[in-house]
Amino acid sequence: MPRRSGFSRDLSLQEFGVKNGKYLAGLVAVLMLIACASPEERAAEYLAKAQAFYDDGEYVKAKLEAQNAAQVEPKNSKARYLLALVAEKDEKYQEMFGHLMVAVDGDPTNVEARIKLGTLYFLGQAWDEAAKQATELLKMAPDDARVHLLQARVLVQKGDRDGGIAEIEKSLALDPDYADAIILKAAADSMESLDEGLKTLDTAIARLPADKSRPLRELRVIMLSQAKRLDQVETSLQSLAADFPKEQSYQFQLAQFYTSQGRVDDAERLLKGLTERDPTDTDKQLGYVQFLATQRDQDKAEAALREFIDQNPDADKLRLALGQLLESRERPDDAKLAYQGLAERSPKSVEGLKARGRIVAIEIRAGHLDVAGKLIEKILVDAPDDPGALLFRAGLRFQEKKFDDAIADLRLVLRKEADNERALLLLGQAYAQKGDLTLAKDTYRRVIEVNAKSEEGLQQLAVLHAMAGEYPEAEELLRKLVVLKPDDALASGRLVEVLMAQGQAEKAEAEARRFAALSGQEGVGDFSLGRVLAQKKDYSGAAEAFRKSAAARKNDPLPLEGLVRSLLAAGKPDDAIAVLNKELNNSENELFAKF
């Protein structure tokens, strides 16, 4: 049989070249044009495509084209601003901030980028930076209503209320329909009189079209709620729900309002009615199930959820919710069956992968680590970059002390989910276990950037600073932690130790007394206080604190040791011997009682 060439119909290379000469010539011409185009022209072409995609709501494509423009011209201000807008749509504010910084650096006259950057600074409480942006913007765009509103915010924050109100008035004079300015004016008016604030809102709401007045109406509900004008809250929420039927949050807010007033039956009728009007809307069905689980009983919630699954057998979201409900009811075997059913139906779907991940979690909790490991590997065959599976595998590898492998997995997770707090915390622990304390610190700082109230992030970073003798840094973190969680014994104890290490005995005593005064501190605060007073050579006070701690912590030898040492230091050896004899007798009595 004759050998066929790589082209259809035995087309020879020579024939292909002849017949396609025009095509090849055209291709060469295009390539030459691309090669000859300047970086500015190429960036402009990418940017035009990106803007068109953005205007059409195709944000993923817009991002790709804008990234191409930024790759050609890294400081292209327009490309960076467009990337910031896409990041804002995705609620990736850290990424948005970075692009805005580059946009303003690339073109300091980019008013749009400066306005957004100044607003982010203000919302992030970087008041001085926000003020700098407002000052520059007033020079560049004195007739822009948004610029005057930013200046108003800065002035009000500085305590210049009159100056702030004057800037709000300037903003509204330039754009009477500017909703953000109306909101700030209403808030300012309400400080004098709630009715004045409501009047400002009502006047604008009556004038503006529905889409523009919506945020004003939402603020109106908040103000009425704070004033306990409950009848008006109800009618306002009903009106919003009627005018925006596709916005489910208003219906759910109305149901929450009914529930808060003890009108549970009204809330149930509302939510059930929503599911009946659209039997295919899984979000409304899940909202109703959640209501039943929290306000009625979980049996009723489970029954309703199973009924919805029967109505919508292809709704994977409902099947996943069933597994989660069963898992929350501490029925792991039933939950596992529900997850397995979903995993078999849709193994590679978003819900299917989540279900498979939950099966892994159930196996880990049951101590079946080998089974869990095999399931993880199967998930990663189907979805190599699945963050949940990678995080589980990193956890197992961490337990096995395979820290480099765990770190590799965690980096993959963070490449896809840069703000994954669990991954960052585990990564910090892995670096610490390897002894790479610099990277561990950097990672915990990133945790705190993602979540300023991360208790574990604050605690672990404080420990690393303390280990390095960086006591002021450790103190700052621990103080934040005790503000967040005043009854955290570990944080309070560490704060006392850090203060003592800095020679700040008075502050250490104040913190120890604060914690010792809390109910349920179980002698921990008393023990810290004893240590501080002993260091201050107030041995009688230390003995009293240790005595209280020992009484609360009968099986802990440390308070007893502190008590005896303090009594001896106070020149009371007889009392110290009496304490030891009493403890010896108690121990003997406990020993005899066992036989």
Interval 11-49: pLDDT, tens = 343 444 444 555 555 545 544 444 556 778 888 999 999
517, 482 contact by CB (below 8 A)? no
For residue 38, the model assigns a pLDDT of 78
Q: Distance (Å, rounded) from C-alpha 139 to C-alpha 146?
A: 13
For residue 8, the model assigns a pLDDT of 41
Residue of 1 and 532 predicted with greater confidence: 532
Residue of 93 and 289 predicted with greater confidence: 289
391, 409 contact by CB (below 8 A)? yes
For residue 576, the model assigns a pLDDT of 87
Quick one: pLDDT band at residue 592, thresholds 50, 70, 90?
very low
Closest CA relative to residue 373, chosen from 336, 398, 350:
398
Virtual CA dihedral for 564, 569, 572, 575, nearest 10 degrees?
Answer: -10
Closest CA relative to residue 425, chosen from 402, 452, 403, 448:
448
Mean pLDDT score of the chain: 90
What separation in angstroms does the CA of 421 have from each of 128, 452, 462?
A: 29, 11, 17
For residue 30, the model assigns a pLDDT of 47
Q: Distance (Å, rounded) from C-alpha 542 to C-alpha 277?
A: 70
Rg, C-alpha atoms of the chain: 33
Across the range 297-301, mean pLDDT stands at 94
For residue 591, the model assigns a pLDDT of 32
For residue 1, the model assigns a pLDDT of 43
CA geometry: angle 202, 204, 207, nearest 5 deg: 110
Statement: residue 268 has pLDDT above 90 = yes
Interval 105-144: pLDDT, tens = 999 999 999 999 999 999 988 999 999 999 999 999 999 9
Statement: residue 370 has pLDDT above 60 = yes
Specify the amino acid at residue 561: E
In this structure, of 9-23, 99-113, 253-267, the range with the lowest mean pLDDT score is 9-23
The fold of 486-590 is 1.25.40
For residue 36, the model assigns a pLDDT of 54
Across the range 196-219, mean pLDDT stands at 94
Phi, psi of 134 (to 5 degrees): -60, -40
Across the range 55-83, mean pLDDT stands at 93
Across the range 386-409, mean pLDDT stands at 97
Statement: residue 562 has pLDDT above 70 = yes
Q: Distance (Å, rounded) from C-alpha 470 to C-alpha 251?
A: 52
Q: How many CA atoms lie within 13 A of 130 on its CB side?
A: 22
Q: Distance (Å, rounded) from C-alpha 13 to C-alpha 5?
A: 9
Statement: residue 487 has pLDDT above 50 = yes
Interval 514-556: pLDDT, tens = 999 998 888 999 999 999 999 999 999 999 999 999 999 888 8
For residue 21, the model assigns a pLDDT of 52
Interval 494-518: pLDDT, tens = 999 999 999 999 999 999 999 999 9
Q: Distance (Å, rounded) from C-alpha 443 to C-alpha 452?
A: 13
- pTM for the model: 0.73
Q: How is residue 10 annotated by DSSP?
A: G
153, 121 contact by CB (below 8 A)? no
Percent helix, strand, coil in the chain (nearest 5)? 80, 0, 20
In this structure, of 20-29, 247-256, 334-343, 554-563, the range with the lowest mean pLDDT score is 20-29
Statement: residue 413 has pLDDT above 60 = yes
For residue 554, the model assigns a pLDDT of 84
Q: Distance (Å, rounded) from C-alpha 504 to C-alpha 497?
A: 10
Quick one: pLDDT band at residue 264, thresholds 50, 70, 90?
very high
Closest CA relative to residue 218, chosen from 201, 199, 194, 242:
201
For residue 520, the model assigns a pLDDT of 84
Q: Distance (Å, rounded) from C-alpha 330 to C-alpha 311?
A: 26
**In the structure encoding, which two tokens stand for residue 527, read together?**
């023990």
Interacting residues of 521 by C-beta distance below 8 A, sequence separation 6+:
487, 489, 515
154, 129 contact by CB (below 8 A)? no
**In the structure encoding, which two tokens stand for residue 557, read together?**
């030898």
**In the structure encoding, which two tokens stand for residue 194, read together?**
């709630």
Quick one: pLDDT band at residue 572, thresholds 50, 70, 90?
very high
Interval 144-166: pLDDT, tens = 999 999 999 999 999 999 999 99
Across the range 434-439, mean pLDDT stands at 96
Quick one: pLDDT band at residue 583, thresholds 50, 70, 90?
confident
Element spanning 375, H or E = helix 369-382
Q: Which long-range contacts (CB under 8 A, 24 or more apart) does 85-89 make?
A: 85/54, 86/54, 86/59, 86/62, 88/116, 89/59
For residue 519, the model assigns a pLDDT of 86
**In the structure encoding, which two tokens stand for residue 215, read together?**
């945020």
For residue 25, the model assigns a pLDDT of 56
In this structure, of 50-54, 133-137, 431-435, 587-591, the range with the lowest mean pLDDT score is 587-591
What separation in angstroms does the CA of 104 have from each of 58, 71, 75, 146?
A: 25, 17, 9, 17
133, 114 contact by CB (below 8 A)? yes
Statement: residue 4 has pLDDT above 70 = no
Beta-carbon neighbour count of residue 519 at 10 Å? 6
Q: Distance (Å, rounded) from C-alpha 55 to C-alpha 354?
A: 33
